[in-house]
Amino acid sequence: MGLHPLFTLGGRLRLCASMVRPRTALADIGTDHAYLPIWLAKQGLVSRAIAADIRLGPLRSAQQNISRYRVQELVSTRLSDGLDAILSVEVDDIVIAGMGGEMIIKIVAGAPWLKDERKRLVLQPMTSVPRLRAFLAEQGFAVLREQAIVEEGHAYSVMQVQYAPEKVNTDELYPYIGMLDAKTEDNREYMRRVAVSLEKKAGGLALSGKPEEAAALLHTVEQIKIKTEKGRQNDSCR
Ligand SMILES: C[S@@+](CC[C@H](N)C(=O)[O-])C[C@H]1O[C@@H](n2cnc3c(N)ncnc32)[C@H](O)[C@@H]1O
Protein backbone atom coordinates (compact mmCIF):
# COMPACT_ATOMS: atom_id res chain seq x y z
CA MET A 1 0.00 0.00 0.00
CA GLY A 2 1.43 3.38 -0.98
CA LEU A 3 2.10 6.12 1.52
CA HIS A 4 -0.53 8.50 0.17
CA PRO A 5 -3.37 6.49 -1.33
CA LEU A 6 -6.29 8.50 -2.61
CA PHE A 7 -8.39 8.96 0.48
CA THR A 8 -11.48 11.07 0.23
CA LEU A 9 -14.08 11.45 2.89
CA GLY A 10 -17.79 11.49 2.00
CA GLY A 11 -19.70 14.77 2.32
CA ARG A 12 -21.40 13.91 5.62
CA LEU A 13 -18.16 13.02 7.42
CA ARG A 14 -16.36 15.93 5.70
CA LEU A 15 -18.93 18.29 7.21
CA CYS A 16 -18.34 16.71 10.65
CA ALA A 17 -14.58 17.15 10.12
CA SER A 18 -15.07 20.84 9.28
CA MET A 19 -16.60 21.42 12.72
CA VAL A 20 -13.63 19.93 14.60
CA ARG A 21 -11.28 22.64 15.86
CA PRO A 22 -7.83 22.57 14.20
CA ARG A 23 -5.01 20.85 16.15
CA THR A 24 -7.46 19.50 18.73
CA ALA A 25 -7.22 16.31 20.77
CA LEU A 26 -10.11 14.32 19.34
CA ALA A 27 -12.27 11.35 20.30
CA ASP A 28 -14.43 9.81 17.59
CA ILE A 29 -17.10 7.79 19.38
CA GLY A 30 -18.61 4.99 17.28
CA THR A 31 -15.75 5.33 14.84
CA ASP A 32 -16.40 2.08 12.93
CA HIS A 33 -13.79 2.26 10.09
CA ALA A 34 -12.02 5.30 11.69
CA TYR A 35 -12.19 7.24 8.41
CA LEU A 36 -12.85 10.55 10.16
CA PRO A 37 -9.86 10.56 12.57
CA ILE A 38 -7.58 9.12 9.85
CA TRP A 39 -8.57 11.85 7.40
CA LEU A 40 -8.08 14.57 10.02
CA ALA A 41 -4.68 13.12 10.97
CA LYS A 42 -3.63 12.97 7.31
CA GLN A 43 -4.58 16.65 6.91
CA GLY A 44 -2.54 17.58 10.00
CA LEU A 45 -5.72 18.80 11.67
CA VAL A 46 -5.52 16.88 14.98
CA SER A 47 -2.79 16.76 17.62
CA ARG A 48 -3.94 13.22 18.48
CA ALA A 49 -7.11 11.18 18.13
CA ILE A 50 -8.82 8.25 19.83
CA ALA A 51 -10.96 6.12 17.51
CA ALA A 52 -13.43 4.49 19.91
CA ASP A 53 -16.10 1.88 19.39
CA ILE A 54 -18.21 -0.40 21.58
CA ARG A 55 -17.48 -3.43 19.37
CA LEU A 56 -14.23 -5.23 18.63
CA GLY A 57 -15.06 -5.90 14.95
CA PRO A 58 -15.14 -2.21 13.96
CA LEU A 59 -12.05 -1.55 16.08
CA ARG A 60 -10.13 -4.22 14.14
CA SER A 61 -11.03 -2.59 10.84
CA ALA A 62 -10.18 0.81 12.35
CA GLN A 63 -6.77 -0.55 13.37
CA GLN A 64 -6.13 -1.94 9.88
CA ASN A 65 -7.03 1.40 8.28
CA ILE A 66 -4.85 3.32 10.76
CA SER A 67 -1.87 1.12 9.81
CA ARG A 68 -2.70 1.25 6.10
CA TYR A 69 -2.72 5.05 6.12
CA ARG A 70 0.26 5.20 8.48
CA VAL A 71 -1.18 7.44 11.15
CA GLN A 72 -0.40 5.17 14.16
CA GLU A 73 1.57 8.00 15.79
CA LEU A 74 -1.54 10.16 15.94
CA VAL A 75 -4.54 7.83 16.01
CA SER A 76 -5.12 5.07 18.57
CA THR A 77 -8.12 2.77 19.03
CA ARG A 78 -10.09 2.17 22.20
CA LEU A 79 -12.88 -0.19 23.23
CA SER A 80 -15.43 2.06 24.90
CA ASP A 81 -19.15 2.21 25.51
CA GLY A 82 -19.78 5.86 24.71
CA LEU A 83 -17.24 7.93 26.63
CA ASP A 84 -16.90 5.42 29.50
CA ALA A 85 -13.26 4.59 28.73
CA ILE A 86 -12.21 8.14 27.76
CA LEU A 87 -10.80 10.57 30.30
CA SER A 88 -11.71 14.24 30.23
CA VAL A 89 -8.02 15.25 30.14
CA GLU A 90 -7.43 13.22 26.98
CA VAL A 91 -9.77 15.08 24.63
CA ASP A 92 -11.06 18.51 23.71
CA ASP A 93 -13.35 17.74 20.76
CA ILE A 94 -15.67 14.75 20.63
CA VAL A 95 -17.41 13.57 17.47
CA ILE A 96 -20.47 11.32 17.73
CA ALA A 97 -21.74 10.70 14.20
CA GLY A 98 -23.96 8.23 12.38
CA MET A 99 -25.89 7.11 15.48
CA GLY A 100 -29.50 7.50 16.59
CA GLY A 101 -30.36 10.63 18.57
CA GLU A 102 -31.42 8.58 21.60
CA MET A 103 -28.03 6.84 21.71
CA ILE A 104 -26.26 10.20 21.43
CA ILE A 105 -28.34 11.47 24.37
CA LYS A 106 -27.35 8.40 26.41
CA ILE A 107 -23.67 8.92 25.61
CA VAL A 108 -23.68 12.65 26.42
CA ALA A 109 -25.71 12.13 29.61
CA GLY A 110 -23.24 9.43 30.69
CA ALA A 111 -20.26 11.81 30.67
CA PRO A 112 -20.94 14.75 33.04
CA TRP A 113 -17.43 16.08 32.35
CA LEU A 114 -18.72 17.29 28.97
CA LYS A 115 -20.30 20.18 30.89
CA ASP A 116 -17.13 22.19 30.40
CA GLU A 117 -17.07 25.25 28.14
CA ARG A 118 -13.63 24.26 26.81
CA LYS A 119 -14.96 21.07 25.20
CA ARG A 120 -16.75 20.86 21.87
CA LEU A 121 -19.13 18.17 20.68
CA VAL A 122 -19.74 17.52 17.01
CA LEU A 123 -23.01 15.62 16.71
CA GLN A 124 -24.60 14.08 13.64
CA PRO A 125 -27.75 12.21 14.62
CA MET A 126 -29.55 9.82 12.24
CA THR A 127 -32.90 9.89 14.08
CA SER A 128 -34.78 11.67 16.93
CA VAL A 129 -33.16 15.00 16.08
CA PRO A 130 -35.77 17.25 17.80
CA ARG A 131 -35.49 15.09 20.92
CA LEU A 132 -31.69 15.50 20.89
CA ARG A 133 -31.93 19.28 20.42
CA ALA A 134 -34.39 19.53 23.32
CA PHE A 135 -32.11 17.43 25.54
CA LEU A 136 -29.11 19.61 24.72
CA ALA A 137 -31.04 22.80 25.55
CA GLU A 138 -32.38 21.36 28.82
CA GLN A 139 -28.86 20.41 29.87
CA GLY A 140 -27.34 23.82 29.05
CA PHE A 141 -25.59 22.80 25.81
CA ALA A 142 -25.75 25.44 23.08
CA VAL A 143 -25.53 24.73 19.36
CA LEU A 144 -22.84 27.11 18.11
CA ARG A 145 -22.98 26.10 14.46
CA GLU A 146 -25.25 23.85 12.46
CA GLN A 147 -25.22 22.87 8.82
CA ALA A 148 -27.09 20.32 6.72
CA ILE A 149 -25.92 18.14 3.88
CA VAL A 150 -27.90 16.09 1.41
CA GLU A 151 -26.09 12.92 0.41
CA GLU A 152 -27.44 9.90 -1.46
CA GLY A 153 -31.01 11.08 -0.97
CA HIS A 154 -30.70 11.63 2.79
CA ALA A 155 -30.58 15.01 4.54
CA TYR A 156 -28.28 15.11 7.57
CA SER A 157 -27.66 17.87 10.06
CA VAL A 158 -24.33 18.35 11.82
CA MET A 159 -24.03 20.52 14.92
CA GLN A 160 -21.11 21.90 16.88
CA VAL A 161 -22.07 22.10 20.55
CA GLN A 162 -20.59 23.74 23.65
CA TYR A 163 -21.70 23.72 27.28
CA ALA A 164 -22.87 27.34 27.54
CA PRO A 165 -26.23 27.70 29.34
CA GLU A 166 -26.30 31.44 28.60
CA LYS A 167 -26.19 30.80 24.84
CA VAL A 168 -28.99 28.21 24.66
CA ASN A 169 -31.54 28.99 21.96
CA THR A 170 -35.21 28.98 22.98
CA ASP A 171 -36.59 29.97 19.58
CA GLU A 172 -39.89 28.38 18.47
CA LEU A 173 -38.16 26.79 15.48
CA TYR A 174 -35.08 25.55 17.37
CA PRO A 175 -36.36 22.01 18.15
CA TYR A 176 -37.10 21.46 14.45
CA ILE A 177 -34.37 23.19 12.49
CA GLY A 178 -31.87 23.95 15.23
CA MET A 179 -29.44 26.72 14.27
CA LEU A 180 -29.72 26.13 10.51
CA ASP A 181 -29.98 29.22 8.37
CA ALA A 182 -31.51 29.13 4.91
CA LYS A 183 -28.35 30.24 3.10
CA THR A 184 -27.42 26.98 1.38
CA GLU A 185 -29.55 24.73 -0.83
CA ASP A 186 -28.78 21.74 1.43
CA ASN A 187 -29.98 23.66 4.51
CA ARG A 188 -33.15 24.64 2.67
CA GLU A 189 -33.75 21.07 1.52
CA TYR A 190 -33.39 19.85 5.13
CA MET A 191 -35.90 22.53 6.21
CA ARG A 192 -38.35 21.56 3.43
CA ARG A 193 -38.23 17.94 4.58
CA VAL A 194 -38.82 18.95 8.20
CA ALA A 195 -41.84 21.04 7.09
CA VAL A 196 -43.30 18.09 5.15
CA SER A 197 -42.94 15.73 8.10
CA LEU A 198 -44.44 18.26 10.53
CA GLU A 199 -47.38 18.82 8.17
CA LYS A 200 -48.07 15.08 8.21
CA LYS A 201 -47.85 15.08 11.99
CA ALA A 202 -50.28 18.02 12.19
CA GLY A 203 -52.70 16.09 9.95
CA GLY A 204 -52.55 13.15 12.37
CA LEU A 205 -53.19 15.44 15.35
CA ALA A 206 -56.20 17.00 13.63
CA LEU A 207 -57.65 13.58 12.84
CA SER A 208 -57.17 12.40 16.41
CA GLY A 209 -59.21 15.30 17.81
CA LYS A 210 -56.36 17.66 18.77
CA PRO A 211 -57.07 20.69 16.56
CA GLU A 212 -55.23 23.18 18.79
CA GLU A 213 -51.99 21.17 18.77
CA ALA A 214 -52.39 20.71 15.00
CA ALA A 215 -52.84 24.46 14.50
CA ALA A 216 -49.76 25.27 16.63
CA LEU A 217 -47.68 22.84 14.58
CA LEU A 218 -48.99 24.27 11.31
CA HIS A 219 -47.96 27.72 12.51
CA THR A 220 -44.43 26.38 13.03
CA VAL A 221 -44.51 24.81 9.55
CA GLU A 222 -45.50 28.17 8.09
CA GLN A 223 -42.56 29.89 9.86
CA ILE A 224 -40.15 27.26 8.51
CA LYS A 225 -41.51 27.71 4.98
CA ILE A 226 -41.21 31.50 5.18
CA LYS A 227 -37.61 31.24 6.40
CA THR A 228 -36.76 28.74 3.64
CA GLU A 229 -38.32 30.88 0.92
CA LYS A 230 -36.60 34.07 2.14
CA GLY A 231 -33.26 32.27 2.02
CA ARG A 232 -33.95 31.01 -1.50
CA GLN A 233 -34.89 34.50 -2.71
CA ASN A 234 -31.78 36.07 -1.13
CA ASP A 235 -29.65 33.38 -2.76
CA SER A 236 -31.09 33.98 -6.22
CA CYS A 237 -30.55 37.78 -5.84
CA ARG A 238 -26.82 37.35 -5.22
C1 LIG B 1 -23.23 3.48 11.70
S2 LIG B 1 -21.68 3.43 12.50
C3 LIG B 1 -21.14 5.11 12.30
C4 LIG B 1 -19.70 5.19 11.90
C5 LIG B 1 -19.16 6.60 11.75
N6 LIG B 1 -19.18 7.31 13.01
C7 LIG B 1 -19.92 7.35 10.70
O8 LIG B 1 -20.62 8.32 11.04
O9 LIG B 1 -19.81 6.99 9.50
C10 LIG B 1 -22.07 3.35 14.20
C11 LIG B 1 -20.94 2.80 15.06
O12 LIG B 1 -21.22 3.13 16.42
C13 LIG B 1 -20.84 2.06 17.23
N14 LIG B 1 -21.59 2.21 18.50
C15 LIG B 1 -22.90 1.99 18.73
N16 LIG B 1 -23.20 2.26 20.01
C17 LIG B 1 -22.05 2.68 20.61
C18 LIG B 1 -21.70 3.11 21.92
N19 LIG B 1 -22.59 3.15 22.90
N20 LIG B 1 -20.42 3.47 22.17
C21 LIG B 1 -19.48 3.43 21.20
N22 LIG B 1 -19.75 3.02 19.93
C23 LIG B 1 -21.01 2.66 19.65
C24 LIG B 1 -21.18 0.82 16.41
O25 LIG B 1 -20.45 -0.30 16.85
C26 LIG B 1 -20.80 1.29 15.00
O27 LIG B 1 -19.47 0.95 14.68
Please give the DSSP secondary-structure letter assigned to residue 160. E
The residue whose CB lies within 8 Å of the most ligand 1 atoms, and thus the one to mutate among 55, 61, 83, 123, is 55
Q: How far is the CA of 31 from the centre of ligand 1 (A)?
A: 6
Q: How far is the CA of 126 from the centre of ligand 1 (A)?
A: 11
Q: What is the pLDDT of residues 122-135, one digit of tens each?
A: 999 999 999 999 99
The band of 4, judged by pLDDT with boundaries at 50, 70 and 90, is: very low
Q: Which residues line ligand 1 (CB under 6 A)?
A: 13, 29-32, 53-55, 58, 80-82, 97-99, 103, 107
Q: What's the CA gap between 130 and 100, in Å, rounded? A: 12
Q: How far is the CA of 29 from the centre of ligand 1 (A)?
A: 7
Q: Under the phi-then-psi rule, with left for phi > 0, alpha for psi from -120 to 50, and beta for the rest, what region is 10?
A: beta
Q: Where are the alpha helices (DSSP H) in 110-210?
A: 129-138, 174-177, 185-207
Which ligand 1 atom is nearest residue 106's CA? 19
Average pLDDT over residues 169-183: 94
**Has this prediction a pTM greater than 0.75?**
yes
Neighbours of 191 (CB within 10 A): 25
| pLDDT of 57 | 97
Query: How confident is the prediction for the chain on average, in pLDDT?
Result: 95
Is the predicted pLDDT of residue 38 greater than 60, yes or no?
Answer: yes
- The amino acid sitting at 227 is K
Q: How far is the CA of 166 from the centre of ligand 1 (A)?
A: 31
Q: What's the CA gap between 178 and 68, in Å, rounded? A: 38
The answer to whether the CB of 160 falls within 8 A of the CB of 19 is yes
Q: What is the pLDDT of residues 56-103, one digit of tens each?
A: 999 999 999 999 999 999 999 999 999 999 999 999 999 999 999 999
- The amino acid sitting at 203 is G
The band of 1, judged by pLDDT with boundaries at 50, 70 and 90, is: very low
* DSSP-based three-state secondary structure for 78: strand
The residue whose CB lies within 8 Å of the most ligand 1 atoms, and thus the one to mutate among 13, 29, 54, is 54
Q: How far apart are the first and last CA of the chain?
A: 46
Q: How far is the CA of 135 from the centre of ligand 1 (A)?
A: 20
Residue 46's DSSP bridge partners are 24
The answer to whether the CB of 49 falls within 8 A of the CB of 31 is no
Q: Which residues contact 155 (CB under 8 A, 6 or more apart)?
A: 148, 149, 186, 189, 190, 193
Q: What's the CA gap between 231 and 216, in Å, rounded? A: 23
For atom 15 of ligand 1, which residue has the closest CA? 30
